[in-house]
Amino acid sequence: MALESVLIGKGIIDPAALAALVEHYGRDVGPHIGAKVVARAWTDPEFCAELLENGTDALWSMGIGGVLTSMIKIVANSPTDHHLVVCTLCSCYPWPVLGLPPSWYKSPEYRSRVAVDPRGVLKEFGIELSDDVKVHVWDSIADQRYMVLPERPAGTEGWSIEQLETIVTRNAMIGTEILAPQSGTAPEVQA
């Protein structure tokens, strides 16, 4: 805040432009956008098929687009396949649907190790997959980004799209988290 105050005071940053940027990242960009995509895919088989066939067009149909989603492939986790996303050269990342990349995603350790030891990296995230589950590592590049469609957790049958959105995480859409089965009642969604 002190740096922001100094930059505004020196006229380097326009407070209105800064407020608009903060508003944009809070409203139009972030994992809450990806969660909307995932929840819709879980509840709409036609949309899910379109999403897996052509992620870019499916996102456009939801009003989500732009340069960072112009070439996006959605890969679906299943009981036999687990997908994991990385960018080994830099930090290519679908910002519009996942928000700002986590620091570990950009770290040299993650970027180098996930390609050669994905099960070891997943284990560090608390995911131990059985040997019969195939792990796929998708390496994003400047003109091809990836997002994981996590498996829908058991116990969420009958939940609304809004309720499903609340359990989807950025890490699940990268592949470093498996959404846990739910018990009890669906979460209340605040309007």
Q: Which residues are annotated as a binding site for Fe(3+)?
A: 87, 90-92
CA angle 79, 105, 170 (to 5 degrees): 55
Instruction: Please state the residue numbers annotated as binding site.
Output: 87, 90-92
Q: Tell me, yes or no, if 103 is annotated catalytic.
A: no
| Distance from C-alpha of 74 to C-alpha of 60, rounded to nearest angstrom | 14
CB 148 within 8 A of CB 127: no
Distance of CA 86 to the CA centre of its chain: 12
Q: Tell me, yes or no, if 91 is annotated catalytic.
A: yes
| Distance from C-alpha of 135 to C-alpha of 128, rounded to nearest angstrom | 11
Q: Tell me, yes or no, if 107 is annotated catalytic.
A: no
**Exposure of 150 by Cβ count < 10 A (0-12 exposed, 13-18 middle, 19+ buried)?**
buried
136 forms bridges with which residues in the sheet?
83
**5: Cβ contacts below 8 Å, ≥ 6 apart:** none
Q: Tell me, yes or no, if 92 is annotated catalytic.
A: yes
Point out the catalytic residue in the list 5, 70, 78, 90.
90
Residues marked as catalytic = 87, 90-92
